[in-house]
Structure 1
């Protein structure tokens, strides 16, 4: 049934009207998502004043009729609180924190000597932990960022210490994920502004195919990680929210210069290097500087930061395990072995903060990221096969901040530009050298080929980007006693672009056992007439929300909110399928009587609409059992909508836009047949000859990729129940938290085969009960295969999150953190959480769920910081996690026609759950790493200090293997006795590495 959209509303007009209404309703203050709020009880009518001891920022409030007060919009930092009958109190507030301080009580005693000096205030200020939030949230402090062992200077790596989070860095890219969902589903908010990647995977911009950092670590003050049940102000997210605040300048002129480094001489050899007998050149340097101060004391401050990386990372070029290296020609053997690939990055950040009055703050920040990154080297890719992946990003943020007695408002105008543009380092042809698999040769007409080496031009050319501006506003009202009501909107106008061509240059195939000069095949692409591979669209996003934090009693807090989002994507809604293709589909008898209606996928320009049903209610509570914030039960339930990556939506355009020509050349070992089988012609080794062949052999049609006309936005439903405690142990306050969490993610994007057999069936032996495999790659007459895009991938997650924390303070200079996560995760397509978006073994996604890949069932992270005096500080981090399930099809107990049934030990056609390492037989631990760091501070004349630091990563040189035999065996058995056994030299994480850092600060 066709839909009618004759009255489609104008999204631009609606969003502009909403923006105008809200802007007229409120002037401009810090968003609650990044700033702190101070609240509590004082004598009725008393005046409370808080002053930031570093910047001079000053806020006042008055106790209401019941004695309650609220001071919002406080940037994280150290404050002096004065007023009420509690005298003076110095406190430290964290990012996004709601701290409760009752000033009717006597404040802790402050030493009389030097009490007014800023140094004493900063040193003696107490941290007031937040316990009454319903969010499943954990803070990462500036001290942890500064002191814990690390290698990458990526501030997201410290989220790894939070229960439920997992940070990975495999040398090619670094990503952060939460639970059973993948990295695509997170969002990072910096100063209240989301950093979402709209075009490519990775969650935030710059996380796709890059080991670089999204932000200079020296510019991050601290951040909070919310793994579920965030409030309504958070958008474009369905797993974890990371909200960070950037540093600002202060009245004091401060700065630092740093440099850290290690080389191959400072680490143990990798397994590949042990085999080779020598180490490969490696260099890892990180360097930078930051400076901040006052242009006008208490009024205008600046902060500047730069960080760079210069990395030469070792990789290994090696043939498949089935190939005997001694049987290969010397010209091929010489390409194998340990090598390296370079990476360089530059990160710039600048910020101006103008305190126009006690109530009005204006900020402007700018960030620039530039990277040079070579990928494709390693495995079977020679150095010449490299692809250059430049990563460039620019973001600007202008904020105007206004705070009053009963309300506050935060307004942003932002601009962003980010591009993803891989291209071959070498232009020209490429060569793929293969052999017939000696252990499974296949047939003479269809040999099973193993790729041994790729040389020449790289396989990828892409041009994908997002660029545009946004305005967002958050207005908070405190005028009703016991209520904090917050409402806001966001309007964003972004230009999205996508293009790709695989391969961009001809690829010639050579059988090493036949000829190194005479190819038996060539593959190349040519633009197909009538199919435009370039797609760009003006994307418009609108979001509105309202929420209320209701203090029902002095013990019970209830959080209620709802948000609504809509995204206008004209490339989808206005899509008109080529009438010729539409006619071919409607006339194809194979799909006339099958399990779907092709009309649901044929766009005519008026039968598609944006998903306007994205209403996300969120409800939470906290109950303070004893009224002193020491024992608090909390919980919540809510829905969160994410978005579908534009690169997936763009497949309608560039899927099938290029003709891929495959010409087989008749040779003794490859006696091909058919129209694309000819004798080798030297002219076909030239661009002119290939173009002439394409002109003489035009290929109409091509693959057809279509999206459902009723496409929905992916979302997750989140439920949590937990308890926080502050307990005294050994004379110190410890914070504990235990949370049960359930998350159900639905409507995630996937693509499946629309092609069917002549009788409309999918499986060849469907009548005999076949349910898996035997996919019908049958071309639409005049075209290629039909592939359909739908909603359907789903994830379920049950988690136990446990944390125990004793904070580091100047008065108690040691800190301990314990974070344990138990995750029972499942997905209805193995590898979906790892980024897989295609499902070809079934007609469509099924209700059967499999163990989630990439998520260990058990994970324990222990951290510690200790300062014994003498300006020495020691820190450590231990990570232990269970084996991570990986995708491995198991059909050994299935008949040859591929029926999929559960078996003991693993889900049939599902994930491989357990591994055995014959070198280091540890059955319970899949990943283990212990790091140490030590720092010595030397005071220099004046205000200068010199710091010398040493980090030792993977102290015990544990090997974390990541290459396993995943072949269970043929259909019907027998089972491969080596399934799950290590069968390669690849490892995750570093070998034991010594890293030296020096730092000059003032």
Structure 2
């Protein structure tokens, strides 16, 4: 029988809000802090003056110890000299602060494990004796990625986010074809993540990558050489973080210092330095002469010492990916010689799939006085990518995929004795625009499936594609924002925070597929007379992109209350609101409303939904107002020495609906796709006269195709409609853990163990709105598949968008770290994640055609999420200017999709993912060796060798997910003909996950 989830738990949306609101009623000040700045606090001698000075930039902040405690916020991450003046005596020490850290340094006592000791009297002494303070007294589930790790750990892409998987709970994956990188946390996919750079969110409002520049690209969202360090918060972040439902990554950029410093690098790899894939070794795939170069330079220094500094960097990336055309299908082996001469020429032309990216970043930092900090940053990213080439796609069928991203940020920070204000004015302009290389008629040569050569209307298999390309999109976001964060330290034991953000952003989305008429030919019958054409014609509404002048507003309160030396409580509440006029003001076309009201099946009393809930009058849609997000946490220092701390928390976090989904109901009507068939031998279409034609060469002209639908312009088009009361997706997060700082083998170590539980809700889902004559979705005896074929009169199929996708995650996160220090010359990290991840829709898919909705669909294993994952890194100074680093990644098999049909006679099927029959699903060891030559001047020369997948382990991806079928008469709940190869490697499938062993050589200069 079909599995049903009869006990699905839907938390009360108001319950958590009311609980925390009661606590917050006692907190009257409205205040807030900046997510990238560090805070230093602790106890000191009464009336002592504590002064911190950044040793690189000269930035200075001071505070008096009131009632024996002090707090200094708004500190850019870096190394600081701490001077304490009390009773006419001055002492000093040095510390290093990390991004977004709230560090505790008690100046009356001996420093804790991993804190610096001794006096810091000179600049050189400060740099040597200033290890990182350990942040243990936080309720966040957070881990840091240091600048040393970014610089030294092996990698191939120079995407700074590639190191995020050194944190438990984070997975970074790289595709093999277009070399795209994606990031996910837990059971949720990449669009649940947000990245904050210098406190400003980089959210992509249109596409699914989570942040701009991270979807469908081989490029990087930000220059790695501009990133100082970053923090990954897997769960239980504070109220300042917005527009996310899984992990938050907060990074700080580098700044110029009082010393001129520069850097140049050049990375190179090619096909001769890359091991062959199993398919290449068997001769099944051609060996392509791929080359990749990455290069760049950075420079920073003082314009006015201790006052005005600059930093600028450039990074470029060029990838050449040769592609060869191989006519398909693989089980037919159609020779190139069997094609017409002109098509043979296209097939024999080996072509390239080049990628180019340019990244610029610049920063000015001005400190006109001890209380002031002004920063202005600029980022400019441009990329061009030629894709959709190779295999069955000839070069003429390619897509030119362009992207750009410009961001400007003006920041002003003012620090007083008991408060800090941090303001940003930002502007962004990001776009993504795939275009066909060829505009014109597209041709798809096909061949009947084996055994169907003599059938009428046989199933067809693709052979080769040429002509006009298949992808035309125009999507982007542009606008400005103002955000202000305020922090107050004047209330004993409390750090009170408040802030707001207002953003006005123009969002646009257009998708025209196919942009070119696509003719299909049965090559067993004719190379010149097609049997079918699919094309797009202008329909209802605008021909341009769907645009929305959206307005976003967010406000939050936060109180970090240090009740005593043991217990700290974090109370926060956030509210977000967004207006999307293109959705809220949309008016459903009258012709569509008339079609709905005349469509009998959905007017039947037995139908399971009310189509009136999807008809928009322009007045009945309102912006979502219920995005209240209480967030509460605690930390308990067992002995008051920061060595053993129990922490935990609970909170809610709202993401946002991707505009690409919200705009679909408009641009699907504006550019409507039609399919007509031609009555040709072997492809008789007389049973569907409305879309059946006799072939005429004039149909090769778009104007003739447009004329076909002019009389009835909507016939056959897919209609998208969205629930008028669509909600915003969110997650509820719960965590409990313990951190430890301890000595082992004469070195300071940090460890943590965390139990995590995350429930995400209200992901958008489009399902079939068509129904059978009696209003039902399934015919009698079926409970899966076979969606109603009946079309909306005058249109095609009807798809309705509602909230429905959910995930459940229970996870155990373990981490162990020995921080790198120059004194020890080595560092190591271990991150282990156990995940019990479930979802009610395969891989967060936004479409389902097998069920009317997800109400009774069982939760299943989340695709792509392994139960066990281990990432370990190490860095070691070898002496003589040499250092070695490594990264080991191991995981159990991830869940893979499979359809389970126990009894095909009644079609009781359901999706039932499986794990491949292997112990280790993925394994990879990367290593890097670097040598630095000191020339005796300020100039250093370095050479580095990175080897990815050192042992060339094959990580197989071709597993057999067919369980078999047929009903066993003796046992209806068993399979009569089980597949003995189920879960094992598919026969003759040699596909693997990338990379194979790859060697990369780098040269660089430091000065």
TM-score, reference length from structure 2: 0.91
How far the C-alpha of 1:965 sits from its partner, in A, is: 3.8
- Which region of structure 1 is more displaced relative to structure 2, 305-314 or 718-727? 305-314
Alpha-carbon contact 1:41-1:103 (below 8 Å) kept? yes
Q: Closer, same or farther in 2 for the Cα pair 1:720/1:776, shift >3 Å? A: same
Distance 1:442 1:581, change over 3 A: farther
**SS at the partner of 1:591?**
helix
User: Distance in 2 between the 1:937 and 1:297 partners?
Assistant: 29
User: How far did residue 512 of structure 1 move?
Assistant: 2.6
Matches within 5 A, 1:531-550: 534-550=545-561
**In the alignment, is residue 599 of structure 1 matched against residue 612 of structure 2?**
yes
CA contact (8 A) 1:272 1:338 kept: no
Other-structure match for 2:353: 341
Correspondence for 2:486? 475
Residue 698 of structure 2 corresponds to 683
Change (3 A) 1:512 1:312: same
2:891 aligned with 1:888? no
Matching residue of 1:846:
855
SS at match of 2:816: strand
Quote the offset at 1:870 in angstroms: 1.3
Which residue is 2:970 aligned to? none
Deviation at 1:111, TM superposition (A): 7.8
Distance change in 2, residues 1:471/1:148 (3 Å): same
- Does the Cα contact within 8 Å between 1:531 and 1:656 map onto a contact in 2? no
SS of 1:218's equivalent?
Answer: helix
Partner residue, 1:87? 91
Return the offset for 1:909: 1.8
Q: Deviations over 1:853-878 (max 9, x none)?
A: 11111100110000022111000011
1:400 and 2:412 correspond: yes
Give how far 1:776 is off: 0.6
Q: Is the contact made by 1:823 and 1:857 (CA closer than 8 Å) also made in structure 2? A: yes
Per the alignment, residue 9 of structure 2 pairs with none
Instruction: Compute the displacement of 1:342 (Å).
Output: 1.0
Q: Does residue 1:204 correspond to 2:211, yes or no?
A: yes
State the partner residue of 2:646. 633
Structure 1 residues 572 and 695 mapped into 2: Cα distance closer, same or farther (>3 Å)?
closer
More displaced, 987-996 or 476-485?
Answer: 987-996
Q: Which residue of 1 aligns with 2:141?
A: 136
**Structure 1 CA distance for aligned equivalents of residues 46 and 36 of structure 2:** 29
Are residues 1:242 and 2:242 paired?
no
Structure 1 residue aligned with 2:586: 575
- In structure 1, how many angstroms separate the alpha carbons of the residues matched to 2:661 and 2:450? 38
CA distance 1:337–1:966, change in 2 (3 Å): farther
- 1:840 CA drift (Å): 1.3
Unaligned runs of 5+ in 2: 1-28, 968-974
Q: Aligned runs of 1:660-671 on 2, under 5 Å?
A: 660-671=673-684
Give the 5 Å matches for 1:54-133. 54-65=56-67, 67-84=68-85, 87-105=91-109, 116-133=121-138
| TM superposition shift of 1:269 | 1.4
Between the aligned partners of 2:544 and 2:667, the Cα distance in structure 1 is: 4
Residue of structure 1 in register with 2:3 after alignment: none
In the TM superposition, what is the alpha-carbon distance from 1:688 to its structure 2 partner? 4.2
Change in 2 beyond 3 A, CA 1:619/1:223:
same
Query: Are the counterparts in 1 of residues 457 and 682 from structure 2 also a CA contact under 8 Å?
Result: no
- What does residue range 293-304 of structure 1 map to in structure 2 within 5 Å? 293-304=301-312
Structure 1 counterpart SS, 2:911: coil
Distance 1:771 1:355, change over 3 A: same
Count of residue pairs brought into register by the alignment: 951
- Note closer, same or farther for the CA distance 1:378–1:161 as it changes in structure 2 (3 Å cut): farther
Show the counterpart of 2:289. Answer: 281
1:207-226 aligned within 5 A? 207-226=214-233
**1:589-619 CA distances to partner (integer Å, 9 max, x unpaired)?**
2112211111111111111111111110000
Aligned to 1:828: 840
Residue 48 of structure 2, aligned match among 40, 46, 49: 46
Backbone CA RMSD of aligned residues:
2.2
- Comparing 544-553 with 531-540, greater Cα deviation is found at 531-540
1:739 is paired with a residue whose SS is strand
Q: CA 1:531–1:146 in 2, change beyond 3 Å: closer, same or farther?
A: closer
1:280–1:339 contact (8 Å) kept in structure 2 = no
Partners of 1:707 and 1:823 lie apart in 2 by 33
Once the two structures are TM-superposed, the CA of residue 106 in structure 1 deviates from its matched residue by 5.1
Indicate conservation of the 8 Å contact 1:386/1:458, yes or no: yes
1:106, 1:476 → 2: CA distance?
29
In structure 2, C-alpha distance between the alignment counterparts of 1:182 and 1:317, rounded to whole Å: 33
What aligned pairs does 1:528-927 form with structure 2 within 5 A after superposition? 528-529=539-540, 534-592=545-603, 593=605, 594-673=607-686, 674-675=688-689, 676-695=691-710, 698-700=713-715, 702-765=717-780, 768=781, 770-832=782-844, 836-847=845-856, 848-891=858-901, 893-900=902-909, 908-911=910-913, 913-916=914-917, 923-927=918-922
- Contact 2:474/2:545 (CA < 8 Å) preserved in 1? no
For the residue of structure 2 that corresponds to 1:389, the secondary structure is: strand
Give, in whole Å, the separation in 1 of the partners of 2:716 and 2:548. Answer: 24
What TM-score comes out, normalization by structure 1 length? Answer: 0.92
Alpha-carbon distance in 2 for matches of 1:278, 1:706: 45
After superposing the two structures, state which structure 1 stretch, 803-812 or 699-708, moved more. 699-708
Residue 997 (str. 1) matches residue 1006 (str. 2): no
Distance 2:51 2:511 in 1: 58
Q: Could you tell me which residue of structure 1 aligns to residue 460 of structure 2? A: 449
Structure-2 residue corresponding to 1:18: none
Q: Residues 782-827 of structure 1, C-alpha deviation per residue, up to 9 Å, x if partnerless?
A: 2222111111100000000000111110111111111000111011
Partner of 2:23: none
Indicate conservation of the 8 Å contact 2:715/2:796, yes or no: no
Deviation at 1:442, TM superposition (A): 10
Between 517-526 and 335-344, report the one with greater CA deviation.
Answer: 335-344
- The structural deviation recorded for 1:701 is 7.4
Counterparts of residues 929-940 of structure 1 (less than 5 Å): 929-940=924-935
Match of 1:512 in 2: 523
In 1, are the aligned partners of 2:359 and 2:382 still within 8 Å (CA)? yes
Partners of 1:867 and 1:873 within 8 A in 2: yes
Residues 683-741 of structure 1, C-alpha deviations (whole Å, 9 max, x = no match):
22233443444447755573321111111111000000000111221111111111000
Change (3 A) 1:867 1:970: same
Give, in whole Å, the separation in 2 of the partners of 1:698 and 1:191: 50
* 1:168 corresponds to 2:173: yes
Cα distance between partner residues in 1 of 2:454 and 2:783: 26
Shift of the 966–423 alpha-carbon distance from structure 1 to 2, 3 Å rule, reads farther
Superposition deviation, residue 672 in structure 1: 2.7
User: Which residue matches 2:196?
Assistant: 189
